[in-house]
């Protein structure tokens, strides 16, 4: 089966005045047909790859290939070949791919990035594996409990923490690089443990809690006042609300 190759289609014809047929010697009987060659993949034209021409005598029907054109015939062809316009469909494949890329680029540019994602990235980068009682007492207490109950193969020493209180809201972030190794059904226990501790902290009394637990790469457990998810596709954007409504950042 031929998957790709080249094909040609007739893209224009014109009469050649004052040229003489080499065979029947009639004047002005030749007609040049121009073919546009194009590359195809699965018979879908992809992109054009040059033109070729054939002259035919309307009287004796003999044809002359382009490489055998007389000087006169070639000159007339060169003068007229721009009249043979390629149809758009010779570009179909490449054009479609190009349009798709352009479309995706436009979508990517116009899809306005939520300014709060940078704030969350900053906080994620500030997480530490050794929170102290002075710098972050809540994270310190969460770590103490995790260190004592988490199995060694999940490496609790590698966990990272950050707790942040802002107005009536609290952000509690924990990173467990080996969280993926934990059965999905058991992962939410990490959330339960964090909640047990945070519910007993005076600092967090009456605060709306935005809890995010990430694995090595992405957020896997999220619990906010309005959202709860235990999934590798947990929506990080659900934590943005901690920073305030998006509109406030777009002013
Ligand atoms: Zn002829």
166-225 pLDDT, tens per residue?
A: 999 999 999 999 999 889 889 999 999 999 989 988 889 999 999 999 999 899 999 999
Distance CA 159, CA 13 (A): 75
CA–CA distances in Å: residue 134 to residues 84, 138, 158, 209? 80, 10, 20, 21
| C-alpha of residue 58 to centroid of ligand 1, in Å | 7
Distance CA 134, CA 209 (A): 21
Distance CA 214, CA 73 (A): 74
| C-alpha of residue 20 to centroid of ligand 1, in Å | 8
| C-alpha of residue 113 to centroid of ligand 1, in Å | 69
Per-residue pLDDT reduced to its tens digit, 60-70: 999 999 999 88
Please report, to the nearest 10 degrees, the dihedral formed by the alpha carbons of residues 237, 238, 242, 244 taken in order: 70
pLDDT for res 158: 94
Per-residue pLDDT reduced to its tens digit, 122-147: 999 999 999 999 999 999 999 999 99
Range of 9-23, 80-94, 162-176 with top mean pLDDT:
162-176
Per-residue pLDDT reduced to its tens digit, 36-78: 999 998 888 988 988 899 999 999 999 999 999 888 888 888 8
Residues 126 and 34 in one domain: no
∠ at Cα 145 (229, 213), nearest 5°? Answer: 25
Domain with 217 in it? 116-249
**Confidence class for position 16, pLDDT limits 50, 70, 90:** confident
Which residues make up the environment of ion ligand 1, defined by Cβ < 5 Å? Answer: 21, 23-24, 57, 59-60
| C-alpha of residue 17 to centroid of ligand 1, in Å | 13
pLDDT for res 178: 93
pLDDT for res 62: 93
pLDDT for res 34: 93
Tally Cβ neighbours within 10 Å of residue 30: 28
Query: How many domains would you assign to the chain?
Result: 2
- Domain with residue 147: its CATH number is 3.30.300
| C-alpha of residue 54 to centroid of ligand 1, in Å | 13
Domain closes at, from 109, 143, 167: 109
Distance CA 133, CA 146 (A): 15
Question: DSSP labels for 180-236?
Answer: GGS-HHHHHHHHHHHHHHHHT-GGGTTPEEEEEEE-SSSEEEEEETTEEEESTT--G
Residues 122 and 244 in one domain: yes
| C-alpha of residue 8 to centroid of ligand 1, in Å | 25
Q: Is pLDDT above 70 for 1?
A: no
113 by Cβ neighbours in 10 Å (0-12 / 13-18 / 19+) ranks as exposed
Interaxial angle between packed helices 137-149 and 184-199, expressed in degrees from 0 to 180 and rounded to the nearest 10: 140
Domain closes at, from 79, 109, 139: 109
Residues 128 and 191 in one domain: yes
pLDDT for res 130: 95
Domain closes at, from 74, 109, 144: 109
pLDDT for res 251: 66
Beta bridge partners, 4, equal 41
């Amino acid at each position: 089966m031929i998957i790709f190759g080249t094909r040609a289609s007739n893209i224009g014809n014109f009469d050649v005045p004052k040229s003489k047929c080499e065979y029947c010697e009639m004047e002005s009987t030749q007609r040049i047909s121009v073919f546009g060659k194009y590359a195809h993949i699965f018979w879908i034209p992809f992109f054009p790859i040059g033109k070729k021409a054939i002259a035919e005598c309307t009287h004796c029907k003999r044809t002359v290939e382009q490489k055998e054109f007389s000087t006169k015939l070639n000159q007339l062809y060169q003068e007229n070949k721009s009249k043979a316009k390629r149809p758009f469909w010779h570009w179909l494949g490449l054009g479609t791919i190009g349009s798709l890329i352009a479309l995706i680029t436009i979508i990517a540019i116009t899809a306005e990035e939520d300014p709060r994602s940078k704030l969350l990235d900053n906080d994620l980068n500030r997480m530490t594996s050794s929170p102290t009682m002075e710098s972050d007492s809540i994270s310190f207490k969460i770590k103490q409990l995790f260190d004592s109950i988490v199995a060694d193969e999940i490496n609790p020493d590698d966990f990272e923490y950050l707790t942040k209180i802002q107005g009536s809201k609290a952000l509690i972030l924990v990173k467990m690089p080996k969280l993926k190794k934990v059965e999905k059904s058991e992962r939410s226990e990490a959330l339960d443990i964090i909640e047990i501790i945070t519910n007993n902290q005076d600092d967090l009394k009456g605060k709306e809690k935005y809890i995010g637990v990430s694995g090595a790469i992405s957020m896997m457990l999220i619990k906010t006042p309005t959202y709860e998810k235990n999934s590798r596709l947990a929506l990080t954007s659900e934590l943005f609300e901690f920073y305030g409504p998006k509109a406030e950042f777009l002013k």
